[in-house]
Structure 1
Amino acid sequence: MKTDRELFEAYKQDVYKLCWYMTSNRADAEDLCQEAFVKALGQDRSRVVEEKAWLLRIAANLCRNHYRRKKNGIQKEIRSFLLMRPAPPERPEDRVERRELSDEFARRLEKLPEKLRAAITLRYGNGLRLEEVAAVLEIPLGTVKSRIHKGLAQLRIQMEAQPSYTRKGEKCYE
């Protein structure tokens, strides 16, 4: 079992990233990340098998509670997963086009129901295996697969509806 400091150092980026994707707000993400670690470190970890999944479950639950409290307010934009990938040097025009596409993708992701968005964020934003996503969200593996498939299908349909986001003669695939 890791010490408190080792646990924090090992998973702080993953927990923060999840909180940031689920709240779309840096300050809220920082607060929720801190709250997740305070809550986790105050609990008995002797029976915890998957520390990362356990921590992310705590953070996801806190984010869901936070989202429910702010549900009536205006939700801020979620940043795209595409922004996290390092890109090779490119022309300024290509960079602007990619940024516009990423922003549009983030807006489309934000429009997905919370359940679909959470599954996609954990899978692709945090790089969790499907089994880990199921553990974090406390749902069956089949439900995780279904939510990810449905969410990606909805995103694909939304993006294909915008002809400016596919190059001439190309089709948008997942």
Structure 2
Amino acid sequence: MTDRELFDTYRRDVYYLCHYMLHNAADAEDICQEVFLKAFQTDRQGVERIKPWLLRIAVNMCKSHLDRRKRGVLKELKHFLLERRRDTEAADEALERKENELETERWLRALPVKNRTVMTLRYIHELSLQEIAETLDIPPGTVKSRLNRGLRQMRRDLGKSNPNLKGAECLE
């Protein structure tokens, strides 16, 4: 894969992850550029799965950036999954979707940073459990437990905001 193909294929994923972690568009752009510069300068022949490798670089660079700024907490998640269909949806559907997106973002922000990061990589960036483990350099069992804790907390929060929902209804 050429440098150009690498950039064109993964720039959105890297940028959105950086923006999510840094909550600052300018900083996210800077870190995103640094990630790709590092990737371009590295021999990628031994890299089996490029996306987790790139996201790992991005996570590490974002953490370093946050440490330098003495900001130890991630602040917001920027959702982007539904942007592609915005033009084709009716106004009511778009409004309802935006409300759901904001509610989901609020629940995610309430999670501890470690759980939120794993949830973001799994459900926003659609990485497998193994890819998340490699990206964050943690055991797969830790990934599973953080996902489980995050989902349980979100279910509890959903149950509190909708007391009439019970059991599996909280997940629908």
Q: TM-score surpassing 0.5?
A: yes
Contact map agreement 2:20 2:75 (CA 8 A) in 1: no
Instruction: Give distance in 1, aligned partners of 2:106 and 2:32.
Output: 23
User: What corresponds to 2:123 in structure 1?
Assistant: 124
How many residues align structurally? Answer: 170
The unaligned stretches of length 5 or more in structure 2 are: none
Match of 2:10 in 1: 11
Does residue 144 (structure 1) correspond to residue 143 (structure 2)? The answer is yes
Q: Which residue of 1 aligns with 2:155?
A: 156
TM-score by length of 1: 0.80
SS at match of 2:171: coil
Instruction: Extract unaligned runs of 5+ from structure 1.
Output: none
**Structure 1 contact 56–136 (Cα < 8 Å) conserved:** yes
1:1-174 to 2 correspondences below 5 Å: 2-70=1-69, 72=71, 76-80=75-79, 83=82, 86=85, 89-90=89-90, 92=92, 95-163=94-162, 171-173=169-171
Answer yes or no: is the 8 Å Cα contact 2:23–2:76 preserved in 1.
Answer: yes
Q: Distance in 2 between matches of 1:52 and 1:39?
A: 14
Match of 1:161, SS? helix
- Matched-pair contact (CA < 8 Å) for 1:23–1:76: yes
In the TM superposition, residue 29 of structure 1 has moved relative to its aligned partner by 2.0
Mean Cα deviation higher: 143-152 or 95-104: 95-104
Bigger mean CA deviation after superposition, 99-108 or 35-44: 99-108
Could you tell me whether the CA contact under 8 Å between 2:74 and 2:113 is conserved in 1?
Answer: no
Equivalent AA in structure 1 for residue 6 of structure 2: L
Q: Distance in 2 between matches of 1:131 and 1:70?
A: 31
Measured after TM superposition, the shift of residue 148 of structure 1 is 1.0
Question: What's the CA shift for 1:5?
Answer: 1.6
Q: Percent identity?
A: 48
Residues of 2 paired with 1:84 and 1:155: CA distance? Answer: 24
TM score, norm. by length of structure 2: 0.81
